[in-house]
Structure 1
Amino acid sequence: MDLASVLLLLTSLCSSSALHELDSQEDALYALKVSLNVSANQLTNWNKNLVNPCTWSNVECDQNSNVVRISLEFMGFTGSLTPRIGSLKSLTILSLQGNNITGDIPKEFGNLTNLVRLDLESNKLTGEIPYSLGNLKRLQFLTLSQNNLYGTIPESLASLPSLINVMLDSNDLSGQIPEQLFSIPMYNFTGNNLNCGVNYHHLCTSDNAYQDSSHKTKIGLIAGTVTGLVVILFLGGLLFFWYKGCKREVYVDVPGEVDRRITFGQIKRFSWKELQIATDNFSEKNILGQGGFGKVYKGILADGTKVAVKRLTDYESPAGDAAFQREVELISIAVHRNLLRLIGFCTTSTERLLVYPFMQNLSVAYRLRELKRGEPVLDWPTRKRVALGTARGLEYLHEQCNPRIIHRDVKAANILLDGDFEAVVGDFGLAKLVDIRHTNVTTQVRGTMGHIAPEYLSTGKSSERTDVFGYGIMLMELVTGQRAIDFSRLEEEDDVLLLDHVKKLQREKRLETIVDCNLNKNYNIEDVEVIVQIALLCTQASPEDRPAMSEVVRMLEGEGLAERWEEWQHVEVNTRQDYERLQRRMNWGEDSVYNNQDAVELSGGR
């Protein structure tokens, strides 16, 4: 085996290892969610279908996407702890205090060799303290207070070199306390049956621990009072702004000052200088594309991460600033493996920028129509995956995200492709939050001609079914490789609109003539028929007749298409017959006019 082959093999193995580790983290966290009996309205984005766990709530990761912190305090969980947590080898903080967790502490917790803080205070844990916790050589804070733990304190805890705080009070522990534990700065063993107290050589609590406990009590009383006042003032402020009809501000830009208006979780705030360097001072040669609100630049961060930086050009206008706020807010809410993830943002007094992962294979539109010499075309299996992935992303926006979101500009140019050619729905600049009390939203019409649903164009009212229409046009783009509007088709006496063109060829049973010639006939005609049928169902004139995206997903997976298609054909035949009758009447009227000019003149101008 030559050197190049060895390097390729090693790279493949490393990539596989990294992917396996990511999957392992997802599995461990999801197992924790299940074991804790999490209610339906908690940890809703802890879902295996939603990108990697670094975007899940109450989870933090390092720069290498390793889970380093899980914070699930005071959430009312009633389940137990899963041993699967032991596989999170990079975890440094695990905090589950203030729940009602039962069962024992799994011995697998001893595998968390990077753990610095373990806090399981105020639960209903039983069993013995695992001897394996002695493996946690970096552990500094161990808090197991106010549980129902029994047995002795394991000798292994005494050998922890970094331990500076151990709280084991208010349990049912008994026997000897390892002598070395009395020498750490803070400890509390009160409320047990241990060899400490007035009748023993050592007190059951360090002075620091007692003072800390007293201090915490005082702080708790003060904090409770202050919190109550803050809540009252906050609610009063909300009522005031609601009464005044003010719009909620998402973002405040004060140069040099940290923004305290919004918490972005894993989203990073970049400095202007970082992004300026990353994009080579926003060089023209790094432009990836240009949209309605600005240009997108390819960039490389200091750590080597490739990114796409969207620089808004009309930030000073209400629309531009609103677009920035909308994208930041929406993408921090909407997290799914088929939706573009926001990495970070930057704001100054004169700039608004958004930072996304760089999509190695650019957009579907690029792969269909703008390929450079030597670049591979999208094969048919990949196009099918794109259709399904896009549908799942839109299904999440419409039916699973809270609040629901309308994209309003679904097209091939806004469907991006990652390194594995998986579809990622991008560009939320035109998206619209949907109030759950209303079925549609009236707003200024935005989007791209040829992709805009007729009811949206005529009334300005958008709904989820507006996106369904755009998705149907995108499916036609996938099949044909053509644009939604193409005036060059006039030269061949074909329809300018791709929708009309596809309808005509489908009716004439000549679909093979419209399939993208770049596929070189490497496709399944039955698959093409399925995709075209779904596309036509999605682009029906009446929004009520279009399927929901969840139905589209099922149809792509082979369920329910036949019935819907039969209904569509019946309606389409009747519509076409009505249209032909109208045409005949119009033609008859024209013949009458030409044969009776006097009648026209007597009747006056029309």
Structure 2
Amino acid sequence: MSCLPCFGKKKTDEGGDEQAGSTRRGPMTAPAVVQAPMSYFGAPAAAPVAVAAPAAVTPAKPPGESDKGSSEDALRQGIEGKAFAFRELAAATDHFTPYNLVGEGGFFRVYKGQLEKDGRTVVIKQMDKHGFQGNIEFLTEVSKLSKLHQENLVDLIGYCADGDQRLLVYEHMDGGTLEDHLFDVPPEKKPLDWTTRMMVANGAAQGLEYLHEKADPPVVYGDFKASNILLDASFTPKLSDFGLAQLGKSGGGNMPMASPMMGSFGCLAPEYDRGGQVTMKSDVYSFGVVLLQLISGRRAVDTNRPDEEQNIVTWAQPMFKDQKRYHELVDPLIKREYPSKALNQVVAMASMCLQEEDCVRPMMGDVVMTLGFLTMLPPDPPSVEVVPAPAPAPVPVPDAAPAPKKEKKSHHHRHHSDSSSSSSDGEDAHEEEEEEEEEEEEEQS
């Protein structure tokens, strides 16, 4: 055991050295490298593989998962608005407490909030989180909405798509809704005058014209009504909730198709009742209802009125046919402070928008052109009423001043007068004597 031939070197036949154990190993020889079993590999290794710490293994994605992730990233990059974290919007609304709830739609709730970073007041619409199957549909619609910019549309500031939360963030309008200023006006509040009403109608028509004829792709509003027309401090109108009807439809099978129309009864076109579809021409019909509301100050449906007046369109139809009755449509709060020519054209335009057949309704561009002209017409001068003149007030009579003293007639003058006035009689002479006596008494006193 003193020699270990297994660990020595031997000469090869070619005269080179050969490492012992490379081809022959003794019973105590350990391999220089430990090889993994062949079953771990799909093919024989070309060289010995050392056992090391296992590397992080990325699980294989299901087919199409990689494309979906890249699509979401591309959609997010294409959205012209800020991506908010859910915690930011929760903090802005005090965790969506009920006292910040300002409205509710078919598949969303509307909260008023204040952003902590810049203190800006915003409106946050929280979508039904069970209505969307994933982010793709939601982000696709938000990307479209974020590219719609016009002075009569409410600006979309940003969105939130954290987990199953879907929220939209809009600018806040200080003036409230058109509905707030048009219906049930308290006595102490000044009602909207004719000029302001036409300005609101024209601005709302311009917003709708942009969605129909200038947006790419065109947008069907689907839920046009007075409560969706917001006003600023100077009564400039801006449309809200545009495009949300399509957003609701993109939510998948859990989203009821007609839910965006809740609360719009009386503003919807007849074809919606027949087929449940909204089009640009059904938007025109809804605009006609709002225009009629601006003229009359009435709600679209008012169950407090007599049966024949509860639906505003049914009530107005007989008056549409007789121009002499147009003035009966005007809100009594306006009185007669409006241009007669403008009233005739506005009522005619409302009648065209409210046609039963959608093909004969005008395009919104034609409506804008007409209303833009009418807003420049001044009101008629107030009519002059013939009022009977009041009886003249009695004129105060000043205190009688003392009669001026008459000069005392001299005896010579009396004698001359008596001699020269052959026609005077005894009565005249007697009167003169009495006057003389009165004068003497005054002088003595």
Which consecutive residues of structure 2, in runs of 5 or more, have no partner in the other structure?
A: 1-63, 248-255, 375-445
Q: Which has the larger radius of gyration?
A: 2
Q: Does 1:286 align with 2:286?
A: no
Higher relative contact order (CA 8 A, sep 6+): 2
Partner of 1:417: 231
Q: Does 1:481 align with 2:301?
A: no
Change (3 A) 1:523 1:374: same
**Aligned-pair distance for 1:249?**
10
Partner of 1:545: 360
In structure 1, what residue type is equivalent to 2:361?
R
Q: 2:278 aligns with which of 462, 479, 487?
A: 462
Change (3 A) 1:557 1:518: same
**Aligned-pair distance for 1:557?**
2.7
Q: Does 1:267 align with 2:44?
A: no
Partner of 1:378: 192
Q: Is the Cα contact below 8 Å between 1:330 and 1:428 reproduced in 2?
A: no
In structure 2, what residue type is equivalent to 1:281?
H
Q: Is the Cα contact below 8 Å between 1:326 and 1:429 reproduced in 2?
A: no
Identity rate, percent: 36
Structure 1 counterpart SS, 2:125: strand
Partner of 2:342: 527
Q: Is the Cα contact below 8 Å between 2:135 and 2:161 reproduced in 1?
A: no
**Aligned-pair distance for 1:456?**
2.6
**Aligned-pair distance for 1:531?**
1.9
Tell me, in whole angstroms, the C-alpha distance in 2 between the residues paired with 1:511 and 1:478: 14
Structure 2 counterpart SS, 1:383: helix
Tell me, in whole angstroms, the C-alpha distance in 2 between the residues paired with 1:527 and 1:323: 46
Partner of 2:327: 512
Tell me, in whole angstroms, the C-alpha distance in 1 between the residues paired with 2:134 and 2:267: 22
Q: Does 1:330 align with 2:151?
A: no
Q: Does 1:453 align with 2:265?
A: no
Q: Is the Cα contact below 8 Å between 1:453 and 1:469 reproduced in 2?
A: yes
**Aligned-pair distance for 1:265?**
5.1
Tell me, in whole angstroms, the C-alpha distance in 2 between the residues paired with 1:552 and 1:412: 17
CA RMSD of aligned residues (A): 3.1
Alignment of 1:204-603 (within 5 A): 259-264=73-78, 266-302=80-116, 303-312=118-127, 314-318=128-132, 324-325=138-139, 328-369=142-183, 375-432=189-246, 444-445=257-258, 447=261, 448-490=264-306, 493-508=307-322, 509-558=324-373
Q: Deviations over 1:210-251 (max 9, x none)?
A: xxxxxxxxxxxxxxxxxxxxxxxxxxx9xxx9xxxxxx9998
Tell me, in whole angstroms, the C-alpha distance in 2 between the residues paired with 1:249 and 1:532: 54
Alignment of 1:92-241 (within 5 A): none
Structure 2 counterpart SS, 1:404: coil
Tell me, in whole angstroms, the C-alpha distance in 2 between the residues paired with 1:249 and 1:427: 29
Change (3 A) 1:325 1:511: farther
In structure 2, what residue type is equivalent to 1:462?
V
**Aligned-pair distance for 1:413?**
1.1
Q: Is the Cα contact below 8 Å between 1:315 and 1:321 reproduced in 2?
A: no
Q: Deviations over 1:507-566 (max 9, x none)?
A: 35333333223335443343333222111101111111011011111121339xxxxxxx
Structure 2 counterpart SS, 1:416: strand
Structure 2 counterpart SS, 1:333: coil
Tell me, in whole angstroms, the C-alpha distance in 1 between the residues paired with 2:280 and 2:348: 20
TM score, norm. by length of structure 1: 0.45
Q: Deviations over 1:361-411 (max 9, x none)?
A: 111112212667855433322211111111111111111111111111111
Change (3 A) 1:323 1:360: farther
Tell me, in whole angstroms, the C-alpha distance in 2 between the residues paired with 1:469 and 1:525: 24
Tell me, in whole angstroms, the C-alpha distance in 2 between the residues paired with 1:502 and 1:320: 46
**Aligned-pair distance for 1:460?**
3.2
Structure 1 counterpart SS, 2:160: strand
**Aligned-pair distance for 1:283?**
2.7
Tell me, in whole angstroms, the C-alpha distance in 2 between the residues paired with 1:539 and 1:319: 38
**Aligned-pair distance for 1:506?**
3.4
Change (3 A) 1:483 1:327: farther
**Aligned-pair distance for 1:454?**
1.1
Tell me, in whole angstroms, the C-alpha distance in 1 between the residues paired with 2:282 and 2:120: 36
Which consecutive residues of structure 1, in runs of 5 or more, have no partner in the other structure?
A: 1-236, 242-247, 253-258, 434-442, 560-606
